[in-house]
Amino acid sequence: MEVEKGKTAKYLKEKRPVPKEVTGQLKYYTKTKKLLLNALKEKEKTVPQLAEELKLPRDEVLFQLMSLLKYGFVETGEIDDMDEYFYYKIKNDGKDKS
């Protein structure tokens, strides 16, 4: 069967349904990303401040925040007065580079 170039994902999706855990994982990431970006819209914050505000574990906030830093949604600000935690701020109004 000839599959049109650029539309091959649809072809595989018909043959191989996406597992529920994978879509669940995507929902979790999308939700956490939205929460973090909304929290940072107001002002720049540290990991403990974000964790407290969002009631999320600090290690989870760091993991997601560093992923958003890598994907270009946030950027690093100054370090706090105690030289312990960095502030992170929203970049390009939280919009994807693409």
Partner 1 sequence: MQEQMKTWEYDVLVVGGGIAGGESALNLAKLGYKVLLVEKEPSIGGKMILLSKVFPTLDCAACITTPKVSEIARNSNITIFTGAEAKKITKKGERQFEAIILKKPRYVDVEACTGCQLCEEACPVSVSDEYQYGLVGRKAAYIPFNIASPRAAVIDIENCILCGACERVCPPNCIDFTQIEEEFLVKIKSVVVATGFDLFDPLKIPRYGYGTYKNIITSMQMERELAPTRPFNTILRPGDGKMPDNIAYVLCTGSRDKSVGNPICSQICCMYSIKQAQLLMGALPMADITIYYLHIRAFGKGFNEFYAQAQDMGVEFIKGKAGKITEKENGNLVLRYEDIEAGVVKEAEHDMVVLSVGVLPHQGISDVFDNQKLELDPFHFINQSDILASPAKTSIEGVFVAGTASGPMDIPDSILSGGAASAETTSYLRRATL
Write down the least CB distance from residue 11 to partner 1, Å: 6
Site for partner 1 in 64-83 (CB under 8 A): 64-67, 69-72, 76, 79, 83
What does the block give as tokens for 14?
A: 């018909």
What does the block give as tokens for 57?
A: 């574990």
- The CA-atom distances, in angstroms, between 19 and each of 13, 16, 60 are 11, 9, 23
53 touches partner 1 by CB under 8 A: no
Find how far residue 27's CA is from the centre of its chain.
11
Write down the least CB distance from residue 26 to partner 1, Å: 6
- The span from the CA of 74 to the CA of 79, in Å, is 15
Positions in the binding site for partner 1 (CB under 8 A): 3, 5-13, 16, 18, 22-23, 25-26, 29-30, 33, 46-48, 51, 58-59, 61-67, 69-72, 76, 79, 83-86, 96-98
